[in-house]
Structures are given as C-alpha cells and as structure tokens.
Chain A
Amino acid sequence: AAGMFLRLLSDVRWQATNPKWRRMTCSRRSTSSTAEPHPVSLPAQAQVVICGGGIMGTSVAYHLSKMGWKDIVLLEQGRLAAGTTRFCAGIVSTARHISIELKMADYSNKLYQQLEQETGVKTGYVKTGSISLAQTQDRLISLKRIASSLNVMGIPCEIITPKQVAQLHPLINIHDLVGAMYVPEDALVSSANVSLALATAASRNGVQIHERTSVSHVSVQKGRVTGVETDRGQIQCQYFVNCAGQWAYELGHSGEESVNIPLHACEHFYLLTHPLKEPLASNLPTIVDPDGRIYIRNWQGGILSGGFEKNPKPLFTEGRNQLEIQNLQEDWDHFEPLLSALLRRMPDLEALQIMQLVNCPESFTPDMRCILGESPTVRGYFVLAGMNSAGISYGGGAGKYLAEWMVNGYPSENVWPLDLKRFGTLQSSRTFLRHRVMEVMPLMCDLKVPRWDFQTGRQLRTSPLYDRLDAQGARWMEKHGFERVKYFVPPGKDLLDLDQSKTFYKPDWFDIVGSEVKCCKEAVCVIDMSSFTKFEISSTGDQALESLQYLFSNDLDVPVGHVVHTGMLNEKGGYENDCSIARLSKRSFFMISPTDQQVHCWAWLKNRLPDDSNLTMEDVTWKYTALNLIGPRAVDVLSELSYAPITPEHFPSLFCKEMSVGYANGIRVMSITHTGEPGFMLYIPIEYALHVYNEVMNMGQKYGIRNAGYYALRSLRIEKFFAFWGQDLDAFTTPMECGREFQVKLEKGMQFVGQEALLEQKQNGVYKRFTMFILEDHDTDMDLWPWWGEPIFRNGRYVGKTTSSAYSYTLERHVCLGFVQHFDEKTGEELVVTTDFINQGEYEIDIAGQRFQAKAKLYPFSSLFTHRRRKDEVELSGYQRE
C-alpha cells in the first residue's frame, strides 16, 4: 500500500510539473486506441508472439510485418512505450566504437527520419547533430578513430577545434577542451512516439497489439517454442521474441526451460529544467562530454542532461515487478558529480530552474554490447534486449537484424558481437551480473583503449595451473569467463599500474612480450591454452563420421591419429566455427574450437546432428588442461619426458597420439601449434596438469624453457598471416576469401554444408580477400598503434577494414590483417577481387585519421617458418585461433 501511495505522489508530480509529458501521454492514448483492439480477446494461435511494447518490441514487429510476416501478436504488460522507452533521453547517436553498432545506429537514424511521413505519427524527429568533446589528447584520439569509421561509412563527421565548438553551441565553456567530433546528422526524437509510430505501422500491417497483457512463461516442447502463457490466456506460437527490456532476464528464467539473458538494470538519472530566459533552439546540437561523464540535449527550451557516474546503483537484482519502475526516487546526492560536470561545461546554467530529476533504469550487459539472437537451447526463442542505454540509437537497426534473422535464418550483417550465444549459463549468476554492470556503466564514458580487460567478475574459470602461473608473474585477461595469461612480468620488473598503462601508443609490456616471442622462436615456451572449447563426438557405428563429414568442409575420413583443420560452414560457405578435429578411433573424434564457441558451436551441432541415441556428443572442455609446447626445442623436451621417439619420422605434423609424460599416462599429444612455430599441444586430464607442467618446466630448463602468454602467441600468429575466428573470420567469410581453400575438400564423395556456395565462389571469384599489410612508415615508438577496425585505402580509395593487428618482433614492423573489397569507382558496386587487384595497389591504413603506407601481401613470409618439414605441411598448419 505504501508503494502505491508513493507512486500516486510521483504521478501527480509528473503531471503537475511536466505538461509536455502529459500531452504526450494523451497523444499516446489516442494512438494506442487505434493501434490496439482491446478488449478483444487474445488469439488462440499466432506465428510470432513478441513480448514487450517498448522500442525493441515495436521495432521487431514493424520489421517482421514489413518483411511479409503478418501473423504476429505483440504483448505489453503495461501500456505501449511506457517503460524505459518512455523515460529515454531520445538521443540518436551514430558515434559508436563497433562497426555493427554503428550500422544499426545509422539505419535507425534513417528510419526515424522518414517515420513520421510513413505513419502520420509525430515522432519529434529533429536533426540537431551531436558534438562529442575531448578534454584530453587520448580522448581526441578515441574520437578520431570513430570519425575514421564514420567517414568510410558515408556518415558525415568532422574533428573540430574548441573554437568551432563555441560557434556551434553558445553555452559551452571550451577552455579545457582540446578538440571535439561533430556529427551533423545525429538527431533527437521523442522515443515513446517513435515506438508508437512503429507500433502503428506494424498494426496497419496486421500485427495485433495487446496492452495490459503479461507473459508468465513460454512453453517449450522438444527444445522448440510451442506457445506462451499469459494472464489473459494461452497463445500457441512457433516463434517467441523476448523484448522485455530489464525484465528479459526474469522472463527468460520463468519457463521450465531457462533461457539465460545476461543483463542487469542500473538506475540512470537525468535532469530536466525549465526553459532558459531565451529558450534554447530545438535544433541546438546535443553535447556529449565523456570526460565529464555527461550528455546535454536541448529540451523544451531548457535542457535535459544525464550521465554515467562512476558509482552506479544497480537495482532489481532480486527481480521486481514493473510497478516499481515508476517508484524510483530522485537521488540528488548521487547526481551531484554529474551536476558539477554540467555546470562546469555550461556555467551560465547556474540560474536555470530545475524541473525534475528523472530516475530511469537502464539495462546493461556483461560486455557493454546488446543481446540479439536465438536461444542456444530453445529453438524459435529470440531475444532482443540489453541496450546499455542506447536503445533509441540501436532500436531500428537491431529490430531489422532480428527480423531478418527470423525470416531468412540469418541477418544481413555479421552480428556475432551481439549474438546471445556469445554468453552461456556461466554469465547467469545475479552476483556476477550485479558486479559486472557496476563496471560496465561507468565504462560508457571511460576511454576505450586497446586491450582493456574487465576487472569484475573475474577468476571464475581457471586452469589448475592458475596459482602456479600467477606466482610466476602472470598478468591475466579473460575470455568467456576463463582466465588466460597475457604475459609474464619478470621478477623485479614493475609495470605501470592499470590506469597509467592505458594507452593508444606503445604499451609498457612491449619488451616483455618481445622476449617471450624470442624464446618461442629460439628455444621453447609453454603456454597454458586450457580455455579452448573441447567436444568429443562418438558413435556406435559410422554415424559420427557421416555426420561430421556433412557438417565440416574438410575431409575427416582420415586414418586414426590424424588431426584435420577444418571450417564448420553455413549454407553460404561462411565460417560458423573454425576448428581442429582429431580422429581418436574409427568412431570417435576430438574437436577443438575457440574458447567463445562453447555455446554457439554446441547449439549449431545439436541442431544439426541426427537425433540418434547411438551418436553422442560431450563437452569435455573442463576435463582437459591444454599446454602448448612451442619452439624448436619442444621436441627435445617432449622426447626426454616420454622416452618415445618424437622425430618427424615417428611423429609427423598434424598427428595425435596418447602417450605418457613424466609419470602421467594418457596425455593426448598433438603435433600442432597455433602459431606456425614447431611444437606440440598437450591435452592433459586435469588431475595430471600440475605434474605434467612441473615435469615440463624441470626438463625444459636445460633447453631454456619459459612461460609465455597470449600476447606473444598473437604476435606470432599475425606475422604469419593466420586468421582467427571471431576476430578475422566470421559467418560472412568463406575459406575461399581467406586463402583457406586447402582446408576444403570439395570432392570428398559426399555433400557438405556450404559446398554449393564454395563451388560457386571457386568459379566466379570472391568479393573480398583476406590480406596482410606491413606498415612501412610507422614509428613503433612514436606513432599510434593500430588495433583493429582501421580503414584500408587502396590508391586513396576505401577498400575495407582491418580485423586484427600486432607488432612483429621478427619483421620489426607492425602487421595488420584485414579484408580488401573492390568497389566500382562509379557505381560503388562490389566487384570480384583478384590477386592482381590486391597486388597492384598502393595501400594506406588509417589510424585515428593518420594514414600510414602499407605493403599488401596475400601469402606469409616463408622466411618466418623455421624448421620446415614439408612445404605442404607449412601450408596445412596455416591455421590459427586464439
């Protein structure tokens, strides 16, 4: 009862102080009454049920219905656009770090711009532009990187001086600024009205919208969605879309079959003021001051200003109902740092009268990227949520991609960075989410430098050697919850502390990694690679072989004991996964995939392997510790430890043998490495891990063994032009496009997934080509370092972006890997990329607006491969992942 009372109070205040919102509320009622045939009863069945009437749910409904799906029901527990969408600040900003996010925001902007014309619903769309301010040189670099990306996407954008800022916005104090980025086409909207416009259009296309209907759970049979249970009855359906915003987590866990959607809400505050004496123009640019952690937009002649504080207040950790969302209190003490930042940025606002401090919860995800896609465990269960406070910017694009995914089986762009399957159940702990979002929310404004790692929610999955390695100076990063070594700080050497080591330039570990690389090349190193995803697939008869032959592009019908590198391709020939498979026996296979494939690869195979009890697949990731012995002396260490001949005659490359190492028996030794250096992978049952590690280190002493980390590995693999999945390779890259034809067996006597697409490419050529670039006039000590996502220019024209980069200690140059496309100079049409096209160009790489000459290569430097065994084997091992 007390809660209700408070709510009434706050509602009264809303209306009393906020005529605009009341008006908006009224207009909402009138539109929603046309959009909503309430109290019509729910249909008994539908093709799609969407839960959530915010910007996401309405955008998905809009796009699905545009693509021709008509049998759609959208359910909203309260009123349309009344949750976070209603409170949202309404800024459409395309200044994003990740290219898929940038594309979504760009599409949203273009969609909203014409939405009023299309639907007749006023959206409040005003093209104001936005100015992102830099108080430091590092911030300016960060903005310049974004500006480079925007420019090559055709989005107008320029880096401007503080003086120009003052010309664009009359109130800004510029004395502490070093520069800014101006994006003139960014816009403001009334987010609730955008959502209502989308709903109106969807409704006209036949989508049924029901307000005040809440979904209690989703029914699942045999791993497929069959219907939803609501407080107004049941609806049978084939597809369910969870757009429940901050309640998406709870809804995901409400059914018998849990769908984990890792997000967590935080309170978010912004300020509304009365109009200025001379009311601000409605087309005044939006200001983003990340160093002050605030944004400022014009609002009703006054301003709306909020931000992302250092000490966020997470909420709804235990889950709550929606009523509470209206009840959240203003917290001025909490807002104080942001208010100080606002008055510092616009000192003239001191005399401006406050209207209200709005507390509007936002949901955040563990990696600051939104969650989109199909559940790995329940087919037909789609999710779009976790917008990290950019719901309006992403709404249009994200809805489009999800609709494409549902209708076509996959979106038109690579959305792996946003895919729900990048997470598993290991990210479902509420404690983890609570801690992580408290780090993520401040990160919205923090400088994003290369190689930053999350600090919270760590040490969840560790190798049994964790303590040993940590005691030897290991510095850690995390992938899919697994701690992995970056490098080892030698005793007595101090690195900068965390904050100081954030740099766009040469990092402080440069020499440390250099010496690890040297040891890999000249002696022997050991790298703990236990995080790899490991599956065992076996059958009573030939089922395993037959199924895998169909699902993988390379020929797996090899003699027992052989290891095959192969792609797991989709119908378009793109890489869903890139793995190594060892044939353990006639009927069983051991498959090694990248760490973050654990959920995706499992779901992919589960959905495609025949439902046969004689065919089993097991995730054995946790059962094995993986040690990589790398370097020319690896063979000596291993042979001394096993008393078995390891010479190439007895143990050629790409072989797998079970053998004993020290006292421990049953170690799976594979003659592969992930860097192109000679060496072995040891898959060790975890209880032997410490023993084997100790033996290896003791025996290795006389060969100069030392520990190494993933940064060394990365440098080694990139200088040898090895692509890795998730960074260079994705579902839109085929083996033909990255020089991996040799890993495809087009004529293996049976069909396999992607075969047709590859045959077509083989015949017609490819439209992009994976290329290696060696930076020519780049000063490692003085110049900005490349990261990834840098535009590539050929003869002065944009041809693609880099996907990864590293300093090569051998070449003493930076190496960037990336894809080159060929756009027709006049039409912009994509043309076939030929070897000649690659070889006959002059290349430049754009790092934060500065262009560096680069030399393009389609093949690695053969001089880098020491101890060559046979020429074809070098190529065969041309395979890498991290």
Chain B
Amino acid sequence: FYLTPPQVNSILKANEYSFKVPEFDGKNVSSVLGFDSNQLPANAPIEDRRSAATCLQTRGMLLGVFDGHAGCACAQAVSERLFYYIAVSLLPHETLLEIENAVESGRALLPILQWHKHPNDYFSKEASKLYFNSLRTYWQELIDLNSGETTDVKEALINAFKRLDNDISLEAQVGDPNSFLNYLVLRVAFSGATACVAHVDGVDLHIANTGDSRAMLGVQEEDGSWSAVNLSYDHNAQNEHEVERVKTEHPKSEEKSLVKQDRLLGLLMPFRAFGDVKFKWSIELQKRVVESGPDQLNDNEYTKFIPPNYHTPPYLTAEPEVIHHRLRPQDKFLVLATDGLWETMHRQDVARIVGEYLTGVHHQQPIAVGGYKVTLGQMHGLLTERRAKISSVFEDQNAATHLIRHAVGNNEFGTVDHERLSKMLSLPEELARMYRDDITIIVVQFNSHVIGACQNED
C-alpha cells in the first residue's frame, strides 16, 4: 500500500490556510505580511486547535496554537474564547463602555475581532450565548475596575489567560440547565489545553505561553544564513525553572511526588494548562461535580480518578509566561507550533527550512556566470540539481505545509523521503498516534520594510 505524490499532497494540504494582510493603496503598512497555517492530525479527532484574528478596536494581530489533551473540548473552547478575552483586556475604558451600552440597549455591537479561519476551524453555536455572558461579566468588571491607566499588553495577556481559565472552572461548577451544554462545560473543564499566543502590533511582539507549545523567531543573519531564537519556554519537566516553581508552591513533603517520570504528579506532561480541573480543584469539589454531573461523566473512569498524592491543590495554573520582543529587520518570521513539531525537528532546522522556503518562493539565489569558466554540461548539471530542489519547495504554496512535509517525511539526511512520507501518512488511525503527535503550525511572515521604517522613526 503506497500513497502517490498527489495523494500525499491532498492529505498534507487538507487543512492548510493562508492569509495575506490586505494592501492599502498598493502598500502594506502592517509589520505582518501574512501567515500560513496548517494541521496534520494523529489523533482522531485531532486535539490541536489554532486561531488567528485581527484586533479591530485596538491595533495588532493575534495568533495562537492550542494543544489539547484528554479530548479536544478544552482546546476547542480556548481557541474560540481566548482571543476575545485578550482583546477585551486591551480595550480602553471608553470602548468597553460603548460596547456595554450597545449590549444594554440591544444595538449592534462593535466588531472586536476579525477571524482568519480555515473552513474546518469551527465555533460552537450552542455555547456561544454562555460564552458571551461570561465574557460580558468580565468586561463589566473591567469597567468597574477602571484604573484609568493605559493597558499594558503583558498584563492584559496574563489577565485574559487567567480569567478565561477561571471562567471555564466556574462554568463547570455552576453547570447549565441545558443538558448538552452542561455536559459540554464539564468536558471543557475536565480536559486540558496548552496555549501559545502571539500578539503583534508594529514592532512589538508579545508571546504568551502556557504549556509546551513553542514560539520561535526566524532570523536571517548578515551572511544570509538562518538562525532560531526561542520566544517561549516550555512548561514541562525539562525546564528547571518550572520544576522549581512547582516545588516552591507546594510543601516540602510533596517534593518527591510532585514530578514523577517527567510528569506532574506522574500524570501530566505540561506543567501549565487550561482546564484540567482534576489538577486544580479540591477533591471534594471534584467528587461533588462528578456525582451531580451527567451519567456520561460519572461513568468515565478518567474523570472519577483522583491523581495520586493529591494534597494541596491547585497543582496547575493557566497563567502564561509572557516574553516581549522588539522586532528588527532581520526578524523574518515567527513559527508557533505545538509539541508535535518540536518533537521531530530541531528549531535550527525549522528556521532553515522555513527561511529557505520563504526566500525561495520569492527569489531563488540566482546563478551568474560572471568571469567563471563554466561549460554547458556543468551548467546543465547544476540547473537540473537546482530544479529538483526547487520542485520540492514549489509543491507547497504554504510554509506550514512545507514544514509538516519535512517534519513527517525527513530521512536521516534531512531531505524529504517520499516513501517515508507515504508510510507515515498511511498509518491506520489507531497506530498513527504511536509514531507522531498532532502537529499544528502557524508561520507568520514579517514585513522587514515596515519594521525597518519603524526602527528608523524611533
């Protein structure tokens, strides 16, 4: 059984999405040229999610990848809701008031976000009312709290993350009279999701990360080569600071049981996450909610199971770590990806592959004969080689797809091996997860001209 190249392509391209920032008057004045994104499922259904949106009431663009575990419910909810929380956190007081007044008097609401969605990126219709009410409560509180200060992006990101996680938790505790919704909010709370979100506004890039997805900046050095700069830290057992943090938050007596087999309480890989109330709620609360919950929840062994050595909850937080970076002209692109990518590829390779792809699409380093002595035969050999190389690049119109092709198909020499690619993609559903994880990638391309101009102004 063997997939043909077109079959491989149709699998790889099924979820690809590209967005180009529209030009105004022939010019793109945004620091973002656009982005490519794509997902390759290993789980069925896929547990990763992605979001991208432009803030309409403030400046800036939001992009995020979300890696769900124990189901996709939490990742789905976060992908739908988090950007609204961030956008609201960034809004000035007057705009909040305006929005509240509009809701109050039943007028049309100012649009807050313009989403850039692949047709497969869905929003839950049933829960929209519930989600909206929670969000409204949030902005009402923000209005009441009016600090009068301008909103700091870092703070806004942290507040939004924490607030959303809090709302997820509350909604599950309160429940909903509609049984479908009731089950939904419980599934959201009992599953979990990591989030890695970028906010780009001019030269200011903020990365808010919760969990083990990763943001990486692609930098082009003066000699044209590519290097990678990490813009997030993984929240897992490999991160000493993170292990340290967890330990300081709990009594000394638990030190040994906190991290076992590189997992939180021996169970959870990411050390920070949305949802996962099993690591956040008290045992009593968990029992009460599960018992009063619907039968499906009650029958689920996973939800009923209390983690071992569970003494001083919460063990888990959704609070993100935020890194601010001022973009420079040599910063060409940003890769946001779930751990499915980073498990298979080193960030340096990611930087090189994306960098060469992006420049290759627009201008391949041209050959000039100049004063060299070249024969027709030599030139022909060189050109044939280059064409073979280019054709693999040109197969993909999307940088994220190109990266996935390499992540899944790379052989030991770092080149795409069609046979390997075909095998990896034709694995049966139940086996796929053994060989690879869900992969979700967003590649944001920056506009060096605009960034350079901003720098000069400063």
Contact = CB atoms under 8 A, between A and B. Distances in A.
B349 to A, nearest CB: 25
Given A339-B383, A340-B380, A333 B367 contact: yes
Contact of A353 (B375, B380, B383, B384): B375
B374 interface: yes
Contacts of A330: 366-369
Contact of A343 (B370, B373, B380): B380
Contacts of A339: 376, 379-380, 383
The 6 A-B residue pairs with the shortest CB-CB distance, nearest first, are A350-B377, A336-B383, A332-B367, A354-B374, A352-B376, A351-B375
A332 B364 CA distance: 11
Contact of A354 (B376, B384, B390): B376
Contacts of B369: 330, 332, 354, 356-357
Nearest to A351: B375
B371 interface: yes
Nearest to B384: A336
Interface string B237-270: 0000000000000000000000000000000000
A852 B380 CA distance: 48
A357 B368 CA distance: 9
19 contacts: A16-B371, A17-B371, A271-B376, A329-B366, A333-B367, A333-B383, A333-B387, A336-B386, A340-B380, A340-B384, A343-B376, A343-B380, A350-B376, A350-B377, A351-B377, A352-B375, A353-B374, A354-B374, A354-B375
A349 interface: yes
Which of B367, B369, B386 counts the most A-chain CB atoms under 10 A from its CB?
Answer: B369
Contacts of B377: 343, 349-351
B110 to A, nearest CB: 38
A357 B51 CA distance: 48
Contacts of B386: 333, 336
Nearest to B387: A336
Interface string A323-348: 00000011111011001101100000
A273 interface: yes
A351 B373 CA distance: 11
Interface of B: 364, 366-371, 373-377, 379-380, 383-384, 386-387, 390
Contacts, number: 63
A302 to B, nearest CB: 10
B51 to A, nearest CB: 37
Nearest to B373: A353
B370 to A, nearest CB: 7
A320 interface: no
Contacts of B390: 333
A212 interface: no
A13 interface: yes
B385 to A, nearest CB: 10
B235 to A, nearest CB: 45
A333 to B, nearest CB: 6
B355 to A, nearest CB: 19
A273 B379 CA distance: 12
Interface residues of A, number: 24
B364 A13 contact: no
B268 to A, nearest CB: 51
Which of A331, A332, A357 counts the most B-chain CB atoms under 10 A from its CB?
Answer: A332
Which of A16, A329, A336, A340 counts the most B-chain CB atoms under 10 A from its CB?
Answer: A336
A293 B376 CA distance: 18
Contacts of A16: 371
A550 to B, nearest CB: 54
Contacts of B383: 332-333, 335-336, 339
Nearest to B368: A330
Nearest to A271: B376
A339 B376 CA distance: 8
A343 B376 CA distance: 8
Nearest to B390: A333
Interface string A527-564: 00000000000000000000000000000000000000
A330 B380 CA distance: 15
Interface in A334-384: 335-336, 339-340, 342-343, 349-354, 356-357
A356 B383 CA distance: 15
A332 B379 CA distance: 9
B375 to A, nearest CB: 5
Interface string A1-34: 0000000000001001100000000000000000
Which of A335, A340, A354, A357 counts the most B-chain CB atoms under 10 A from its CB?
Answer: A354
A331 B376 contact: no
A349 B375 CA distance: 9
Contacts of A354: 369, 374-376, 379
A333 B366 contact: yes
A545 to B, nearest CB: 55
Contacts of A336: 380, 383-384, 386-387
B374 to A, nearest CB: 5
A181 B319 CA distance: 80
Nearest to A330: B368
Contacts of A331: 366
A351 B376 CA distance: 6
A357 B373 CA distance: 13
Interface in A625-677: none
Contacts of A271: 376
Contact of B376 (A17, A273, A329): A273
A342 B366 contact: no
Nearest to A336: B383
B382 to A, nearest CB: 8
A353 B373 CA distance: 7
B169 to A, nearest CB: 57
A356 B373 CA distance: 11
Nearest to A342: B376
Nearest to A274: B373
A353 B383 CA distance: 16
B324 to A, nearest CB: 35
Nearest to A329: B366
A349 B367 contact: no
Nearest to A273: B376
A335 B380 CA distance: 10
B191 to A, nearest CB: 50
Interface in A677-694: none
Contacts of A357: 369
A601 B370 CA distance: 55
Which of A330, A353, A357 counts the most B-chain CB atoms under 10 A from its CB?
Answer: A353
Interface in A48-95: none
Interface in A263-304: 271, 273
A335 B366 CA distance: 12
Nearest to B383: A336
Which of B364, B376, B384 counts the most A-chain CB atoms under 10 A from its CB?
Answer: B376
B392 to A, nearest CB: 15
A105 to B, nearest CB: 30
A342 B370 CA distance: 21
Interface in A718-772: none
Interface string A489-521: 000000000000000000000000000000000
A312 to B, nearest CB: 18
Nearest to B370: A13
Given A329-B368, A332-B379, 4 more contacts: A17-B371, A340-B384, A349-B377, A351-B375
Contacts of B370: 13
Contacts of B374: 353-354
A349 B368 contact: no
A417 B387 CA distance: 41
A350 B375 contact: yes
Nearest to A357: B369
B222 to A, nearest CB: 18
B376 A332 contact: no
Nearest to A17: B371
Which of B371, B373, B375 counts the most A-chain CB atoms under 10 A from its CB?
Answer: B375
Contacts of B373: 353
Nearest to B365: A333
A357 B370 CA distance: 10
